[in-house]
Amino acid sequence: MTTTQFWVMAIEAILVTVPSVLLIPRARQSPLFDRVLWIATWLLAFLGAWGAPSYFSANPSFNTLIFADVVIIPTMIGALVGALSINVLLWLMDRFSGPATEEVIEELPALAEETDGGENPSSLEQ
């Protein structure tokens, strides 16, 4: 792989990484987690862009747009699949996981007031 091919795939990976990280909703995480997510998404998009042309080589309809000996359509599809693989997985984990323990602890006093009918047993004794 030449440096031009590397840069073409790296730019394609960036073009796919930005919308996939920004558009898929997920729970708020620490800044370190966000940095790792951006790097991991770009890396998976780059690896997908690098490996995809070998899977699409038998289909000549995908091989029509070529720049610097890189077929653009298969590499973009591979980059998209690579970027979405981690982001969709994290979205599914956020979507189907239970509430955080802090949220459960904050909701316990409100739940206790609802079950008591709003009456405080200590105020009844006075």
Q: Where are the domains of the chain?
A: 3-99
Note the pTM of the prediction, 2 decimals. Answer: 0.67
Please write the tens of the pLDDT for every residue from 51-85.
Answer: 887 777 666 766 676 777 777 888 888 999 999 99
Q: What is the pLDDT of residues 9-63, one digit of tens each?
A: 899 999 999 998 888 877 667 788 888 889 999 999 999 988 887 777 666 766 6
Written as one string, the DSSP assignment of 19-71 is HHHHHS------HHHHHHHHHHHHHHHHHHHHHHHHHHTT-GGGGS-EETTEE
